[in-house]
Amino acid sequence: MDYAVIMAGGTGKRLWPLSRQSRPKQVLKLLDGETLLRRCFDRLTGIFDQRNILVLTNAGYADLVRENLPEVPYGNVIAEPAVRDTAGAIGLAATILSKYDPDASMAVVTADQVIEPDEVFFQAMTSGLAFINTNPDAMITFGIQPTFPSTQLGYIQLGLVEPCDQSADDVYRVMSFREKPDEKTALEYIDSGQYCWNSGMFVWKAKTILKNLTEKLPVSAEPLRKIQAAWDSPNQDEILKEWFLKMPKISIDYAVMESAANVHAIKLRCRWLDMGSFAAFADIIRSDANNNIVVAGHSQLIDSSDNIIATEDTDHLIAVIGLKNMVVAHSADATLVCPIGETGRLKELLEIIKEQDGEKFL
């Protein structure tokens, strides 16, 4: 059977103070009153039965996820007791699925991406599932057709097209995974026509990714085996907490994909955005006549242009005069005012806040 796993554990520090440790970016209602998590879930329901959609999240976010997606069965929200990056999260989901369905096909998507139109995603995901269901030892990743030479994204080098009568999309053999390049290298990638952005989305058999994890990350084998044996037992949570902490903190790309054989890719020719920063707002929210991006229930802007104004509080008024090229982000207990060009220093700011005020405002 086909299953989808939504990765929804990130906090989104680059969207502080909107995104917080207690309220991550995927549950912020910033997209016409909808959340990124809701939009992700709705994309998947055209392909997967709701009962076959799992959500992986941090233990502290489980109730928020269930509140946002009330139609998801309670047990389908899997709470990770610690952050162990994507290899741990994917291994956990795969070991749970394979316990009940040894032949499970498993799609992995992330909750913080904007993908439009849905039809392109639907076709590519359907093609990926068709390929995996006829090639169970293979693994599929999705590459985004690049629109500019990004230095903030990883790349996938594509090789020849593999024959697959069941797929409506071309399926390419993956030659290599490349980390974030410098600008010169990114331009070379684009000009070659061989590279796509790495989306971080996958399709594979649960048993196949577990086999690869065991081979390439042997230290993960025992924790996952212990967790699987205890799942749905009275000591499930106790065993999960004990053994998941023994999983190494490493991404699935580093752990498996970069050295795995039989990896393939499907191109997603669509509008795609990793919603990780305030700058991303400009790509998904229409600006006003003065090029201001405003996400607020109430706002008044006088002689102001090229700003990003954001709050989730629909009853709060943000008013500015004579402002240009600034971010103003308001939450219930913290407000950020920052030149757009300086938002890359948010990590530095949060470290200072943590030193002086502890976790209160994080």
Tell me the HSE value of 18 on the side-chain side, using a 13 A CA sphere.
27
Below-70 pLDDT ranges, the chain: 11-12
Strand 326-330 to 335-339 pairing: antiparallel
What pLDDT is attached to residue 271? 81
Q: What is the pTM of this model?
A: 0.87
**3-state SS class at 169:** coil
318, containing H or E segment: strand 317-321
- Beta-carbon contacts of 352 under 8 Å, excluding residues fewer than 6 positions away, are none
Burial class (CB in 10 A: 0-12, 13-18, 19+), 250: middle
Contact 101, 1 (CB under 8 A): yes
What pLDDT is attached to residue 146? 87
Token pair belonging to 231? 């799942």
> What secondary structure does DSSP assign to 18-84, as a single string?
TSBTTB-GGG---BTTB-HHHHHHHHHTTTS-GGGEEEEEEGGGHHHHHHH-TTS-GGGEEEESS--
Tell me the HSE value of 79 on the side-chain side, using a 13 A CA sphere.
16
Beta strands in 206-314 (DSSP E): 263-268, 271-274, 293-295, 298-302, 308-311
What pLDDT is attached to residue 113? 83
What pLDDT is attached to residue 266? 94
Tens of pLDDT, residues 85-101: 899 999 999 999 999 99
* C-alpha span between 227 and 236 (Å, rounded): 7
What pLDDT is attached to residue 59? 86
User: Whose structure tokens read 């954001």?
Assistant: 310
Strand 263-268 to 293-295 pairing: unpaired
What pLDDT is attached to residue 272? 84
Peptide bond into 17 cis (omega under 30): yes
User: What share of residues in the chain are helix, strand, coil (percent, to 5)?
Assistant: 40, 30, 35
* C-alpha span between 98 and 108 (Å, rounded): 15
Distances (CA, A) of 233 to 52, 207, 228: 21, 22, 10
Q: Which domains does the chain have, with CATH numbers?
A: 2-274 (3.90.550.10), 278-357 (no CATH)
Closest CA to 95 of 141, 56, 138, 57: 56
Token pair belonging to 135? 């090639």
Contact 83, 98 (CB under 8 A): no
